[in-house]
Structure 1
């Protein structure tokens, strides 16, 4: 296992948002984290990246927990948030250099790695640009460049398709496929179910801070007695069950 979450209960202040959540993301697999708004997806991600500490349970990456070695734990994953977070006073090139510093990479090697993704996302003419001149989609691409330029066991990506143009989405998918072949584990939260069905190896469905379903598309089809159903249809069935409850 690369990412392993065991019996996590956690939330804000004394109010639990997650209740006994357990799942894993294996090497070479892309796991889709899906659920209604407020289901606990963002809270789960915040616990994984160390912005929140659970009330109980454990989270480990390659067997290592954040309390054991915070720096090593944080260098074991790369995170792409739903809303791009960039430093307004730094150029794209300087963001790459800052990422290299955070992960202990030599500047030349880091730039060599990054330029491959800069070119893939068609940003090679924007290296000296500041974020103020970037569109939302371009900012998203900068975040993806900074994430994929580092070789880490785990990538955590929140809503990657929002703001990306069709070519950007195609490039993202190609890079994800490559990272999987290299043995990386990827956790992706998304509401774009058609893309998730096409790209993800398995799914974790959250509802009210608990896992309602998990496994492959075939597993979910069997559990809901909907053979051959699309992820959209399965999700709508789950939504209907939630409303009925």
Structure 2
């Protein structure tokens, strides 16, 4: 379970996030939604430890980064928007390195690893180097690397970029399995039609503050439109932005 309490954070002493609080329960998929510059990436960077909060607390399963840095970080599986692979390692070496870094039993995990490789049709690419991969293939490797460590919290930043429709379907099915396992999932995306179908709840950020949070019906109440789609709500935010400017 991810819990964020009164978080204030940002860059170079310029707070971007202004006392935000929300939770992602075990077995729940929460969508992090907002316009560009709303604070989504800052929130993710605070959670994974690339930034340190000025104020507030972030815990995963009751553990904070300051209390147990190694244990905290091992709880997180992160799929970034832009794939980042070790160019000098083959796919096999890359995945083995990830598993060793997270103390995952490589032998005991082989069946699950092969299952993931087969789902994304990479089982015959284990001796390939990243220079031989397309962007979509690199994104699939990042997904596998995040799942093979069996995280308590899975954070996904724009997961659908570069993926073909079949891979998107495969990822959607895998996220459902992760929820069934009890994994807490936080997903930031602009693919709102998919998010609307997949997410249990949403956190909408606007100017570094939580503009609304809840399921779709609760968001509709907040924005005063009982038939609004998530895309409609996003467009309402753009109008607020225009009025603010």
TM-score under structure 2 length normalisation: 0.98
2:58 counterpart residue number: 59
* CA deviation profile, 1:45-99 (whole Å, cap 9, x unmatched): 0000001101010000010001111110001110010000100001111111011
2:125 counterpart residue number: 126
Deviation at 1:202, TM superposition (A): 0.6
1:199 counterpart residue number: 198
2:112 counterpart residue number: 113
1:186 counterpart residue number: 185
Q: What do you get for the CA RMSD once the two structures are aligned? A: 0.8
Other structure's SS at 1:238 match: helix
> Mean alpha-carbon deviation: is it higher for 72-81 or for 102-111?
102-111
Distance 2:21 2:81 in 1: 23
Distance 1:14 1:150 in 2: 34
1:25 counterpart residue number: 24
Asked if 2 retains the 8 angstrom alpha-carbon contact of 1:96 and 1:110, the reply is: no
Find out whether 1:143 has 2:142 as its counterpart: yes
Distance 2:76 2:8 in 1: 22
Deviation at 1:151, TM superposition (A): 1.4
Can you give the 5+ residue segments of structure 2 that lack an aligned partner in the other structure? none
* CA deviation profile, 1:106-135 (whole Å, cap 9, x unmatched): 221233221111100011111110000000
* CA deviation profile, 1:151-210 (whole Å, cap 9, x unmatched): 121100100000000010000000000000111100000000011001001101111111
Other structure's SS at 1:226 match: coil
1:34 counterpart residue number: 33
For this pair of structures, how many residues does the alignment match? 244
Find out whether 1:230 has 2:216 as its counterpart: no
Find out whether 1:164 has 2:199 as its counterpart: no
1:8 counterpart residue number: 7
Asked if 2 retains the 8 angstrom alpha-carbon contact of 1:201 and 1:216, the reply is: yes
Distance 1:97 1:110 in 2: 10
Can you give the 5+ residue segments of structure 1 that lack an aligned partner in the other structure? none
Distance 1:190 1:109 in 2: 33
